[in-house]
Amino acid sequence: MPSSPLQSVMVEAQSAGSPCRLLLVEDELVQQSFLHGVFATAGYDVVIANTVAEARIALAEHDLALAVVDVRLPDGSGYDLVPFIRRYRVSMGVVILTSRDGEADRLAGLELGVDDYITKPFNPRELLLRVRNLLQRLPAGGGKGREEQVRPTAYRFAGRRFDPVNRTLETPNGDLTVLTLSEARLLEALIRQAGAALARRELLDAIGRTEASSARAVDWLVLRLRRKLVDDARNPQLIRGIRGVGYRFNAQADWVS
């Protein structure tokens, strides 16, 4: 029987099946060794990169489910790696490690497609829990819950087709766009309660960002979604802002195969 909460998380990860492979991008050797030990003891297979350049090579050579990336790297910022991941490994999770907890940094990361943040110093149990929860939300995470089992193949609305599993959005003119995990979860939350006004805090909960996230993060995600939906931000027809509340999805969506 596990003797501590940290061991409880480790035992659960180890019993999940074949090892899940993570990319750890960290150049500070003490921190790198510590994080490698935390993940390896929890049952994860860890690939290490010291720089942005090494990380790109690792992404090309390994089958990876998630990347844990430090912001400060010798050859650039960890944020520089995010667009590369989103372009070539769209289903990967991305967790940023940072010593800065400012709203501007979080919003910049959201704009790029970061899935979660860990602010230094952090509790290793919290880190493992966040990684586990993110993996369960990803298509390849293997942890499909009850909501996943009843999820339709796709939604069709206003000439658009949204596949929540593969996170693809087809616009009326036939263009296919890949959404980030947060964008896809936000869009599905709005669609599932079409016609209802949802508070920003409810939407933060729906995308798994209850941890000190600001309401402005939702506004940024909605702005990005409107662009991808080709929904005029000056006169939006699909995602309508409700003053003092949040947002409402303004179209009828049907389930399709």
Q: Report domain extents, the chain.
A: 5-137, 150-256
In contact, 200 and 215? CB cutoff 8 Å: yes
Residues 6+ apart with CB under 8 A from 58: 23, 47, 49, 64
- How far is Cα 170 from Cα 173, in angstroms, rounded to an integer? 8
The pLDDT value given to residue 32: 94
The pLDDT value given to residue 257: 62
Superfamily of domain 5-137: Response regulator (3.40.50.2300)
The pLDDT value given to residue 121: 85
For residue 23, what are its two tokens?
């990319």
The pLDDT value given to residue 115: 86
The pLDDT value given to residue 216: 79
The pLDDT value given to residue 147: 36
| Domain 5-137 identical in fold to domain 150-256 | no
The pLDDT value given to residue 241: 94
The pLDDT value given to residue 94: 92
Q: Which helix (H) or strand (E) holds 40?
A: helix 29-41
pTM: 0.56
The pLDDT value given to residue 41: 94
In contact, 29 and 39? CB cutoff 8 Å: no
The pLDDT value given to residue 80: 87
The pLDDT value given to residue 218: 87
CATH of domain 150-256: 1.10.10.10
The pLDDT value given to residue 8: 45
- How far is Cα 10 from Cα 21, in angstroms, rounded to an integer? 15
The pLDDT value given to residue 89: 74
In contact, 62 and 47? CB cutoff 8 Å: yes
pLDDT in tens, the chain (257 residues): 444 444 444 444 444 455 799 999 999 999 999 999 999 999 999 999 999 999 988 888 888 999 999 999 999 889 888 888 877 776 788 999 987 766 677 777 777 778 888 888 889 999 999 999 888 877 644 333 333 334 457 899 999 999 987 889 999 998 999 888 888 889 988 998 889 999 988 888 777 764 445 677 889 889 999 999 999 888 999 999 998 889 999 998 888 76
Q: Which residues pair with 21 in a beta bridge?
A: 45
The backbone torsions φ and ψ at residue 130, rounded to the nearest 5 degrees and listed phi first, read -65, -45
Residues 6+ apart with CB under 8 A from 134: 66, 93, 95, 115, 116, 141, 181, 208
